[in-house]
Structure 1
Amino acid sequence: MALQNFFSILLPLSIFLQFHLSCSQDPLICHSNDSEAFQDFHRSFSSQIDGLHANCSSNCCTCTGLTCDSSGRVVKIELGGRKLVGQLPNSIARFEHLTVLNLSCNTLTGSIPLALFQLPHLEVFDLSFNQFLGDFSTGTVHLPSLRILNVSRNLFNGVLPFGICINSTFIEVLNLSFNDFFGVFPFQVAECVSLKRLHLESNFISGGIPNEVSGLRKLTHLSVQNNKLSGSLNRIVGNLTSLVRLDLSSNEFFGEIPDVFYNSVNLSFFVAESNRFSGRIPKSLSNSASLSVLNLRNNSIGGNLDLNCSAMKSLVTLDLGSNRFQGFIPSNLPSCTQLRSINLARNKLGGQIPESFRNFQSLSYLSLTNTSIVNVSSALNVLQHCQSLSTVVLTFNFHGEVLGDDPNLHFKSLQVFIIANCGLKGMIPQWLRSSNKLQFLDLSWNRLGGNIPSWFGEFQFMFYLDLSNNSFIGTIPKEITQMKSYIDRNFLLDEPASPDFSLFVKRNGTGWQYNQVWRFPPTLDLGFNNLSGPIWPEFGNLKQIMVLDLKFNSLSGSIPSSLSGMVSLETLDLSHNKLSGIIPPSLQKLNFLSKFSVAYNQLHGAILKGGQFHTFANSSFEGNNFCVQDDLCASIDGDPLVVTRKSRMVTGSLIGIIVGVIFGIIFLTTFVVVFMLRPPRGRVGDPENEVSNIDNNDLEEVKAGLVVLFPNNDNGSLSLEDILKSTNDFDQENIIGCGGFGLVYKATLPDSRKVAIKRLSGDCGQMDREFQAEIETLSRAQHPNLVLLQGYCMYKNDRLLIYSYMENGSLDYWLHEKPDGPSCLDWDTRLQIARGAAGGLAYLHQFCEPHILHRDIKSSNILLDKNFKAHLADFGLARLILPYDTHVTTDLVGTLGYIPPEYGQSSVATYKGDVYSFGVVLLELLTGKRPIDMCRPKGLRDLISWVFQMRKDKKVSEVFDTLVYDKKNETVMVEVLDIACLCLSKVPKERPSTQELVNWLDKQSQLKMRSSRILKSCKLKVD
């Protein structure tokens, strides 16, 4: 016992002494060689390295991002995302004991110093997300300890540098993706015998996969998507028995997929979509027990679907859409007990949905579009037993069948039901009423008739209802105006429909495609039916609806002024009905209205000119009795007594007009006869085509079109003919975006350079003003974080703007649309994007002369170049703010979810309004969520309210996107969230200036000095 007591005293004492001795030791002193090397390295950059304190250069072992060993030698340099700009100096290679070099996410340019390839201890070499260029030469490489090499997302070219493995035989991870490497897949890959991960995606690699790849027995990940690989797939891939993930998508492979995967017992991810594969699914894949994802979409694979589902116990996602499969849907699919998502769309299948699907308990998402299946009654009777089934897409099937009304049908979990373009007969079935979780219902393009049921008003969660192109009769049930998800944004299910599986493609009103169901705007489409009766005033209560389409019916009565209450409305189409009266002036309050038509009704009075109405083309109003003279309009729209007093004057005016028209017709007829008797002098084009289509004009006139290029352009001379050829006469396949007043086309010029061409459209007068505004604005705005306007062209009714091309599209695309986009944007990249966008906005607000308001800051207007550098785009909504000019505008512009609250009460656009919108973008970067998402659970649809509530509940860590959040990033992410909260203050004067934003994003450590102001702003009450 005494001995035990002795040790119980001795142990704490020894720990105390060790701690005391360790605390009394002096800090490590940097070795003189490394100290000199770091001072040279530090001096080579014109600005202070972000995050380094002023005195650290005297002892580099104390510098943040540098790690020394016990002898004072620098062994790690980790300066990722530290704002390093310029070329990498040779002094970096003087750190002879370096094991880790991470300079990712900076703006380093030029070539890599050759001396860097001679560091004997270097294990991790990461230069990703920079702007290094040139041939990645490996002729003198001697990195015997190298395990990880990542040079992705740079501008390297030349052949793939597999020669690096000759003297670096321990490389396990080689990431060369998103560069400009070209040429064939070299045989030197055989030298990389230790390789586990090989990433070559998004280059210009051609040829096939060489036999030498078979030597990479440790390889677990092979990603070669988005290249130009071709030929048949080499059978040697079957020798890669350690493979876990193989991605061959978006290449030009053809022929059969070889049946060589029997020994790939770890293969869980096989993606070969968008190639030209044919033949059948190899049995070694269709019998794989390890596969969780099998994606062969968009090929020419055929034959009968033969999957051994009793063996495929791990299969979760099966995507075989857009192939040539024949026969019937396999009845054994339910034996894949983990299978949740099935896409068999656009194949040559037939028959019926198998009875065995009654036991398909794991199935959640099913797309059988255009597969020629029959017997809709049987299909629905079977599928109702799939307890987890939430999404069913059966479009282009069951042609001409009757949609029966089986009272015993009940879909417990159904959220999305699409059975459009089937020519189905009958009425809307009563059984749908019990599917009370429905969010999305599309019965369009059928032959359904009868009345629209009043019980549609009972659907609390439905945000998309399309009954267009049928034969429905009667009045629109007033109960539809009680659908709660159209009224209150908080009504939605706890789980979004089809969160991770792109089941179908549908065009919205602008011709753009949505790949996921939750990307559709809240819509009510009853167009092309035989509906009659009034448009109910209660429609004005539908505050969340964005698209209301009632065209081609027989609706009568007046347009209710209460429709101005549909404050989110973007599309309103009432054309081709029997509506009478005037267009209510209150509709001018619909600030987001971008598409509007009342054509071919019986309306009269004046055409509205306020709000968004001055942007709509004349075709939106044609086929009515609108007056064209202001005094005449005033009498018609005014007091009845005034109309009576002026009736004689009006009558006299009309008589004069009629007489004038008669004489005019006689004169024109004579002129036309004389003109036709003259000999022909050349081709005369169709006037209607001349107005809208530049490609149908006389070729000689086209060649004469003047293209004005600014001095900043790098495309040399350019003609209108070049533009037409480079866009294939503005073919819609080249459309890459839709900005204010026009479409944006990708153009490949004769010298192979790419530009973006914005072709303005709309009312000619407004279009000219828009064109001049963009020219005047962008010609003054030159900044690295703005989209560069290189030139313009004016030809008749066409106005073309020539921009720099942004290879990576918009931030919105990467955050919200691209399936793997969010995972590609790590936190350093997102922070870099935020910094860049803030810099561009600060330039517009404070340094550009004259200063410029953007007024439509949003993630889709932040474009990303090849290196993911942010560029602010679309100044179509910007207005120049000249000194002493009024800031008042009658046009409230912007995008729903980004507009500051004060814009609802005032018509004054301000710089602080832009800052508010930028704060919303910061939240998108932090959370990965949209500002407004109609399919998010209750309480989560409004991103701003949700974030403030989570802060109030002290759940800040739950706000962040799990793809980028970790303890290493937590401090910076919380600080950026503080900045976003300050931008989103309800009091405009409490928001920072854009230059403050730039400073804060550059130096997060200084945010603590403003913590009291930030905290005050972030404690706002949630409405």
Structure 2
Amino acid sequence: MTLPCFMLLCVKNSNLNANNLTGSLPRDLTNITNLKDLEIQGSGLEGPIPSSISVLTNLTDLRISDLLGEGSKFPYLGNMTKMNYLMLRNCNISGPFPDYILNMGSLKILDLSFNRLTGNLPVPTINNDNLAICLANNLLTGAIPNWITTRPRKSATDISYNNFSETSVPVACRDNLNLFKSSYGGNNSKAVECLRSLPCSKDRYSLHINCGGQEITIGKFSYEADEGYGGEAQYVPLKDNWAVSTTGRFWDVNNTANMFIGKNVSMLRMSNSELYTNARLSPLSLTYYARCLVNGNYTVKLHFAEIVIRDNRSFQSLGRRIFDVYIQDELVLKDFEIKKEAPGVDKVLITPFKAVVKNGTLEIRFRWVGKGTTIAPQKGIYGPLISAIDMEADFKPPKNWKKFIVAGAVVLPLFLIFIIVGTLWWKGCLGGRVLRERDLKGLDLRTGSFTLRQLRAATNNFDSANKIGEGGFGPVYKGELLDGTIIAVKQLSSKSRQGNREFVTEIGMISGLQHPNLVKLYGCCIEGNQLLLVYEYMENNSLAYTLFGSETSSLMLDWATRQKICVGIARGLAFLHEESALRIVHRDIKATNVLLDKDLNAKISDFGLAKLCEEENTHISTRIAGTIGYMAPEYALWGYLTEKADVYSFGVVALEIVSGRSNASYRPKNEAVCLLDWAFILQQKGNLMEIVDPRLESEFNMEEAERMLKVALLCTNASPTIRPTMSAALRMLEGQTSIKEVASDPSIYADGMRFKPIKDHYQQTSHDGSSTSHAPIFSSDNTGIGSSTTSAHDLYPVNPESISFDISETSPLPC
């Protein structure tokens, strides 16, 4: 029903919780200037929150949650100096976090969870250690401030599910501070902060948890204990292979640890009643996070029994517990009510689900969205309830042949062992493998290990039909593991100039780089003379294939996808430059080195050329490695290498994303040599938007396109000192900061002749009738300039060979 506005004109306290109302929030609420308490939770009403709410300066308690429909920016509440309790949860609020909120001295509880707030957390100017803070499930970025991690243990602070930098997350966990998935949000969020000191002791194929109860054994299953922990902001690794995260507080009551454990108040007559004697409760969100699991298909069973709400003639029987359930971030139960589905109280309900484990982890989440009752059976006891969880692999663990091998080794004559060892050593297999394994052992690898037999089976013995590219190490093959995981296998060629030590060094470097916008390294294989790397497989090939390969690619990238891809590349580079443990310069950013997954998320590949860049040694005086059309002038001419070289290359790629054209092969007019040259000309003429891909027609965001073009031109400025850092470029792309428009001066490197040698070359070849549609590139033998065409193998470069040339050669400056 729609709420009649006149009903709210003469009240000082208003509660519109758990109704089936329709329509928008009544704007007449702002006419009740003497209103002190306003609570609207799970009402069915739609947003946005009216900006005129700021006139209610007498409010001491404002609670609005779970609004439907249209979102809004954060309403200004700076005039509400009497505010004690503020909840704006799941209200579709976007935009930067309001700095003044943390300086409202009278505030006792702040809950802004499940919104889309962005930006950094400010440092409050007042000391309010008694303030309970819940900012879970937002898009907050930057470093976690010290005042968050040093707050008193009595003050609950929840910043889980955000995008803070991983390096700022403290290693140790403590009570009343929830850091679960607080860095790099979404499905790729990190959940390792408190588990760094708990490495996986072994591979797991099952997990059974007695939620809220003690350790028990039922039949063949041993259920692990989950008792003694509870709170409004907790992230607790109970063992090396699983953890639990709780978010939210029971309002209007004093929260204690035992409130987060539901206990039955009657005799249970169901079988296996030990599982249902206690249950885990949460007022808002409860997450079980299992790790160390072997990848594959699993069956998940959730055990429910309503042991808190009673079935009698008192008002307590009117209580309703309604919540949602997610498995691997997929909603599997919506508006779920145990008492209704069982049916009845103290009745067992076991719901099975199928789940796929891809990265060794399985996440189960229970969430309250403001529905049901909050005062029955008693005030403050509501939200999700779970009794037990089963996780079982749908496949059997491999048999342990170790004891048979040991027995055979004892029986075999000693001289046979000596013969085998001597033969292996004489052939060089054993010595070489020992050296490689010794090199690997000295590295802190964060990858898995594969056998040659596994990879041969996955690629059909490296069948040429599965070949998807040719990289700097050799051929790249598509494969499928037994659990269904699709992989890309990079095989070290015997002709490769890189030996075992270089191979091991690359693995050590890459294994530490984990980011949603970097191609993930699953592991490696070192067996005999075989050296292989195993990467995640990118379903949608490279950005170049999708953007430029119109004849072979069936995809047409709309503007929203192009914006997402460009921001993703920027985030990946910002991580390499500023957030990873090592300072990494990629050196070969281009459209073919950006791969796209099934959801068209951008991931940077090819770290074969990436080098550790020491601050005191930024000048590379031997050889240059890169690709014509993407190299920064100072790097191509003088070998001066800093992160700004990657910024330049990113600017070229951003220009290609907007225009849908390749900088290396597109020649628009005689007055321009390449796409970048044309962009500079259009900028000077004031017609910059003419470069936008005509295939988009009018279906693009004019403001975002103009912003991306301006960022691209700023990044490709001839002077590296004028180019922004990647983090600054990212903020410009996302509209968080303004863009400094600086006209590039080509004469800074080429005395006004930046493009003249290449332009003269084009004019000469055109005059001779031998011009091609491809921009000139340096030839593979490094002797000069030659033309190049793009082959099918170049379109999926897991680690493509880039062009290398001596800087002593006299060659025209690339676009």
TM-score band w.r.t. shorter chain: 0.3 to 0.5
Query: TM-score scaled by structure 1?
Result: 0.33
Query: TM-score scaled by structure 2?
Result: 0.40
Higher relative contact order (CA 8 A, sep 6+): 2
| Higher Cα Rg, which structure | 1
